[in-house]
Amino acid sequence: MVPESSESNSLRLYKCIKFPNKWKYHKKIMKNINCVDPVIFKWENNWILLTSKHKNELFYNKLYSYTSRNPLSDNWKPLILGPVIESDILGRNAGLIQEPKKKIYRISQANMPGNYGAYITVNKILKVSKNKYHEKKIKNIFPFSKKNIRGIHTLNYVKNFTVFDYSKWIK
């Protein structure tokens, strides 16, 4: 697992000791990087890491890509120089959905002034190469219609296991 670790200016890898709630720090896989919400997945013969870097102190809207032959490596190289997406709506990761037969969907978090995690978007990853990253927007998912729900932060799914979180207004 590579959880949010932006305060340490690194991407930190944890090993599962007992699923789902016992994890142990293993190592840093990237140092001196200011980023949030990393996701890692296998694409063809390489591992891909997508993470969001900041536009300013409040918004992380620039999606960057890295590659490695080994997901446990601390030798991740930029796949494409510069951001592959720069957008307040699509530039921040919010999770990953991995389905059989190599269908992979990146979830992005829409951030608007005064509304962190206004909604999420499901984006099907179509192409990842040294020269191109391409995805197609599939669906927007808006906050639940329950009282005080403010926004959606993440959605992840793999092997019949789904995790999501949301924010709510507190009076």
Average pLDDT over residues 23-48: 93
* 157 CB-near residues (< 8 Å, 6+ apart): 95, 96, 97, 98, 99, 163
pTM score, whole prediction: 0.90
Class at the top of the CATH hierarchy for domain 6-168:
mainly beta
Supply the DSSP string of 134-170, one letter for each residue: EEEEEEEEPPPSSTTEEEEEEEEEETTEEEEEEEE--
Q: In percent, how much of the chain has pLDDT > 70?
A: 94
| Domain residue limits, the chain | 6-168
Q: 73 — alpha (psi -120 to 50), left (phi > 0) or beta?
A: beta
- For residue 162, the model assigns a pLDDT of 86
Q: For residues 154 and 126, give the distance between their C-alpha atoms in angstroms, rounded to a whole number.
A: 21
- For residue 8, the model assigns a pLDDT of 87
Average pLDDT over residues 70-87: 93
- For residue 170, the model assigns a pLDDT of 67
- Residue 171, pLDDT > 70, answer no
Question: N- to C-terminal Cα distance for the chain?
Answer: 34
Take residue 146 and report the two structure tokens written for it: 């329950």
Instruction: State the average pLDDT for the chain.
Output: 88
Instruction: Give the pLDDT confidence of 121-168 residue by residue, as tens digits.
Output: 999 999 999 889 999 999 998 876 666 777 788 898 888 888 888 777
What b/e string do you get for 38-54 counting C-beta neighbours within 10 Å, with b at 16 or more? bbbbeeeebbbbbbbbb
Instruction: Give the pLDDT confidence of 93-106 residue by residue, as tens digits.
Output: 999 998 877 799 99
Local structure of residue 89 (DSSP, 8 states)? T
- For residue 52, the model assigns a pLDDT of 92
Q: In percent, how much of the chain has pLDDT > 90?
A: 55
Q: For residues 9 and 68, give the distance between their C-alpha atoms in angstroms, rounded to a whole number.
A: 20
- For residue 43, the model assigns a pLDDT of 93
Take residue 63 and report the two structure tokens written for it: 């999606």
- For residue 150, the model assigns a pLDDT of 75
Q: In which band, very low, low, confident or very high, does the pLDDT at 62 lie, cut at 50, 70 and 90?
A: very high
